[in-house]
Amino acid sequence: MKAIPPVLVCSLLWFALGAQAQDSLYRVSYDHEGNKVLTGRISESLLANDPAFPWFYSGVNSYSPDTAMIRYISAYRDSFNLVVFAGTWCPDTKHLLPKFYRVMIASSYPLNRILIYGVNPDKKALGDETEKYQITNVPTIILLYHGREVGRIVESARKNVETDLVGLIYRMTKMVQKS
């Protein structure tokens, strides 16, 4: 068996790390209460697999969304994109974000189409994303249609996350009908 040239090994490693970096590009710090703070571009799998965030995995698995709302979201899942701002240190994020992901998983929404940014307690990400989307509170879930904001859920759901998302999708369908 031939040895793999070191240049090829380095290239493959660089490619693999580059692919991972496109999915997640973040910094780790800790707040004054010892909570792990992820700042920057993060992913659902990062939250689900990090032992510092047991609230995420258990919250996703314990939530049972309304099936009628799931069917509606599923019917439109290819029509919109989502941008989420979350604070891994934030009690509102710990409550709402797992439910949101459970809804997205149940509706077969492609999780790779959700841009999620971790913010620090000052509500800042690594780049200018929080300024671009005018983020003042977390979590913030923004529904986009062709790059335009349709609406957002901020800090908590009015009824529940799936019903609030259906309301935003309904608003999106009205926008489409008017154009």
Q: Residue 171: CA atoms inside 13 Å, Cβ hemisphere, count?
A: 15
CATH of the domain at 161: 3.40.30.10
Q: What are the pLDDT digits (tens) for 43-64?
A: 999 999 999 999 999 999 999 9
Band the pLDDT of 161: cuts 50, 70, 90: very high
Band the pLDDT of 87: cuts 50, 70, 90: very high
Q: Where are the beta strands (DSSP E) in 31-132?
A: 36-42, 81-86, 114-118
Phi then psi dihedrals of residue 58, to 5 deg: -70, -35
Domain of residue 74 covers 24-178
Q: Look at residues 65, 64, 66, 79 and name the one whose alpha carbon lies nearest to residue 170.
A: 79
Q: Report if residue 63 sits inside a domain.
A: yes
More confident residue, 73 or 5: 73
Count of domains observed in the chain? 1
Residue written as token pair 């904001």: 149
**pTM of the shown model:** 0.86
Q: Token pair of 69, please?
A: 């709302």
More confident residue, 7 or 65: 65
For range 144-167, the mean pLDDT: 97
Q: Report if residue 153 sits inside a domain.
A: yes
Which residues are bridge partners to 83 per DSSP?
115, 142
More confident residue, 170 or 6: 170
pLDDT at 176: 86
Separation between Cα atoms, residue 73 and residue 63, nearest integer Å: 17
One-letter identity of residue 104:
M
